[in-house]
Structure 1
């Protein structure tokens, strides 16, 4: 491990809470794609599969920030454990209703309840922020490490979820995802020494963290970015099936995550000058451009190998953009609402994943998988446009318009603007 990464683990408890976060985030890459694989295997209906995945993501988008707001106020242990139990019960109901061929509405009801899942990535990053507050270089490296962990989840998760559901039984992928969630959350919340101290209502900033214009720009852009991820998952599974190699979809999606993982590892070693907002805008634009080769590979070659190469290149822009996002969140959100602010970016991704997976499922059913890659291309263009339109609210304070309010009407802590990077998990 390069020395900057080794250095951040010198603090007691860091290895344990990061490892617990890895387990707790595995469902992020397993549950949605596992539901798509399970339902498509049982019913052959990609539209239904995408809609269920979208329902789960939308539910998590609605409930996630509320859970994180409670965490900021009451602490991780008191909130995360009961929320996780509710989510696990709903997942069990979803699997049972799918296996027993119950009416479609029962699937949607359980999928909606399963969204009561904590944003484990935000909880882990909040612990890093507490440990290295005022140390921007160490925090940059820590956020980069968590970006690598995110991509490790997206490399291993689809392989496990799709592989088990196709080789063993359809419900195997989501079932294992639930087991990972339980193990990760309960292990993380057992570690009290590194848990951030909760803030009382008197210490809390007034209103929601979304009062910050900068945070709203980040969330809005990430809705479109999430649509890229959700659409790629659904379309890639369908494309691989059309080519007669459905199980290979997990490997192709793992290559996509591998590109992001490599870029994140390198990015964590760098200490770039200039405002994070500029790097963020470049990253979003690069993500949009990287969608063009996917459409070309699917439409004109029909080759899974070339598609995997295109996805690897597309993945190179993900982790640096996500890492920079966390730095911007810290610049624009009060310290007492940091967990909530981080979760709102995950919420934006979750909403986008819901929209993207649903739209992609219907396009695949109507026109075939090759045409489905138009959905992530359109989402990438939209993300770039939203980022460009809102860039004025993300520039350093001295360069922003005089009328720009501070986050939540409360000046950010003096140490947060120095932080140079952000990290965001995909879909959460």
Structure 2
């Protein structure tokens, strides 16, 4: 363990408290965090930029929403595949072609939209534009894992920092896209998105010293797969529920504000929601948690459902802002804990892929949530849209409670050998052999996760 790294806590002690200042002093951190921020900011600009452009050129909310949805779905489906390739061949090998395809696809989409091309042509350009969005957030988390695997407490703080950064980009990104679209032209917003993606992506790819090691296929042609873990599949389903909260909130808050004649206030209300999440994420990362990550996940998700359950009954924007604040307070802790858990459920060669499955599930849930909320709003009024977060998050909570046993990290082979070696033989004699090594606490900092010793390969 390097000097200055907090000593991991044992089973009977609380994990060390690690602040953000100590995290950011991690050698090499700033070299990938700065370009990563520039590259992930467009993630929150693409959908809104598409909507603003297509609405301006085709005059149809339906067409604009459909084109943005195609982009979001393509990103959710293809993103995990690029994550798997990044684990296998390295992040730079995936980022370089991704940013090139993204720039060409966005340019094609802009040209088709300005030329008033039919909807199917816009779909054809939006799909590769979404599919080629660099999965920077997952790649940054993979870099933190590779550098902080010996300090679970610091890694928990890193995941908190990343979730807060995600929230910040989703607040700033749409504002930036709207400002450029309204002050210049709608197409300029997508041009800025593509430029940031290319510049940030190339700068991030250039930081190879901090990149995690590659995990190529084994001799039999196989490699670790994130989806082979039932726990990863469960967490992806839970994050799908979180995504429905994001999507439904965006549409429902806008509709509710317009219904009371204060459409301009929708950004403020949604900002309060996102601000609550950012605040909770900052505080969450500073706490030395004694509870296991699985217990925290169930608790945070239950609070999310509770917060969503009051939104539909709010009589005015002030009350909705307060309810949105309490709902937002549960968002970042849920995401942080989910990323913490998934890191313990997969092998080293599948961590980037696992993170992208969670991120993709959020994007897919966002598309489902916004679509379902829009349908309810059209038929039953603006407040009906707030039922979507309750249902989406509620289903996720039911799945987490019913299948919570899947969130336990698999016991490493070395530890299993040690356990079986300690058992008496058939004749009642002790056949145990001494095993050397040290137990490394899990991501929750409260129990051994892996036995590191001779021949462990770590």
Instruction: Bin the TM-score by the shorter chain.
Output: 0.7 to 0.9
1:348 to 342, 358, 361: 361
**Residue 434 of structure 2 aligns with which residue?**
none
CA distance in 1, matches of 2:120, 2:439: 49
Contact 2:238 2:393 in 1 (8 A): no
CA distance in 2, matches of 1:171, 1:314: 34
CA distance in 1, matches of 2:214, 2:443: 22
Q: What are the ranges of 5 or more consecutive residues in structure 1 without an aligned counterpart?
A: 399-413, 422-428
Contact 1:331 1:417 in 2 (8 A): no
Post-superposition shift, 1:250?
3.2
> Residues 208-227 of structure 1: matches in 2 within 5 Å?
208-227=225-244
1:103 to 118, 122, 134: 118
**Residue 208 of structure 2 aligns with which residue?**
192
Count of aligned residue pairs for this structure pair = 402
TM-score under structure 2 length normalisation:
0.81
**Residue 420 of structure 1 aligns with which residue?**
444
Q: RCO greater where, 1 or 2, for CA within 8 Å and sep 6 or more?
A: 1
Structure with max Cα Rg = 2
> Residues 61-140 of structure 1: matches in 2 within 5 Å?
61-115=76-130, 116-140=132-156
**Residue 308 of structure 1 aligns with which residue?**
321
Deviates more, 1:44-53 or 1:141-150: 44-53
TM-score under structure 1 length normalisation:
0.86
Deviates more, 1:353-362 or 1:312-321: 353-362
Contact 1:158 1:254 in 2 (8 A): no
CA distance in 2, matches of 1:397, 1:284: 23
Secondary structure, aligned partner of 1:144:
helix
CA distance in 2, matches of 1:12, 1:223: 34
- Alpha carbons of 1:258 and 1:129: their partners in 2 closer, same or farther (altered >3 Å)? same
Pairing 1:165–2:189 present? no
- Alpha carbons of 1:169 and 1:312: their partners in 2 closer, same or farther (altered >3 Å)? farther
**Residue 330 of structure 2 aligns with which residue?**
317
Secondary structure, aligned partner of 1:420:
coil
Q: What are the ranges of 5 or more consecutive residues in structure 2 without an aligned counterpart?
A: 1-16, 412-437, 446-458
1:293 to 310, 335, 345: 310
CA distance in 2, matches of 1:365, 1:416: 54
Contact 1:231 1:359 in 2 (8 A): yes
**Residue 69 of structure 2 aligns with which residue?**
54
- Alpha carbons of 1:317 and 1:172: their partners in 2 closer, same or farther (altered >3 Å)? farther
CA distance in 2, matches of 1:308, 1:42: 33
**Residue 230 of structure 1 aligns with which residue?**
247
* CA RMSD between the two structures: 2.6
- Alpha carbons of 1:237 and 1:88: their partners in 2 closer, same or farther (altered >3 Å)? farther
Post-superposition shift, 1:13?
2.0
